[in-house]
Amino acid sequence: MSNRKNIGIFVGSLRRGSYSRSIAKAAAGLAPDALNMRFIEIGDLPMYNQDLDDDGNPPEPWVRFRKEISGLDGLLFITPEYNRSVPAVLKNALDVGSRPYGKNNWSGKPGGIISVSPGGLGAFGANHHLRQPMVFLNVLLLQQPEAYISKVASLLNDKGELTDESTRTYLKQYMEAFANWVMTVSKSNG
């Protein structure tokens, strides 16, 4: 029996060549062996409309997504910043996963946030906006270390691979702290 924890990676950017996806791939590759990292796609989720749940006819992508979340031991969100907040696709994923009311699939799971920006602030606004709904959703976020990656374009090669060694070291340390957090929360929940 494996003690590996299944971690879902949620990327808040759908763009081809997404910096967030590049950093997510790097983080997944640097994760300790105790974590089984897998990407959970959010781009195919129709916008949340409560009527579809109330009518007992949720779209198949919602059903799939909710099932995927329920089978996870932890959550890692990698987000860019759009207009000082999180992208709509990521907020929609939070809404879909937390509904119908009373069936919050996010609740009690350990989580982490890495925010990414080509600018100098490392998507600080998006990182903190994403933390706000996490409180209500009862996602138990890793508080320290925080992860803000600024000037991300200069850290990647033309294939979107992380080439900056200090960022690689930082991400490795973050992923080790995240793994410890997941194990700690798992023990207290278990």
Residue with tokens 């207290």: 188
Write out the chain's pLDDT in tens, 190 residues. Answer: 468 999 999 999 999 999 999 999 999 999 999 999 999 999 999 999 999 999 999 999 999 999 999 999 999 999 999 889 999 999 999 999 999 999 999 999 999 999 999 988 768 889 999 999 999 999 999 999 999 999 999 999 999 999 999 999 999 999 999 999 999 998 877 6
Query: Regarding beta strands 74-79 and 35-39, do their DSSP bridges make them parallel or antiparallel, or are they unpaired?
Result: unpaired
**Dihedral of CA 42/53/71/106: which sign?**
positive
E strand or H helix that includes residue 75: strand 74-79
At which residue do the structure tokens 């971690």 appear? 7
CA torsion angle for 27, 168, 88, 74 (degrees, to 10)?
Answer: 30
Residue 186 has what pLDDT? 87
pLDDT in tens, 54-96: 999 999 999 999 999 999 999 999 999 988 999 999 999 999 9
Query: What pLDDT does residue 124 have?
Result: 87
Q: What is the CATH number of domain 5-189?
A: 3.40.50.360
Pairwise CA distance, residues 148 & 69, whole Å: 25
Pair of tokens at residue 97: 């996963």
pLDDT value of position 1: 43
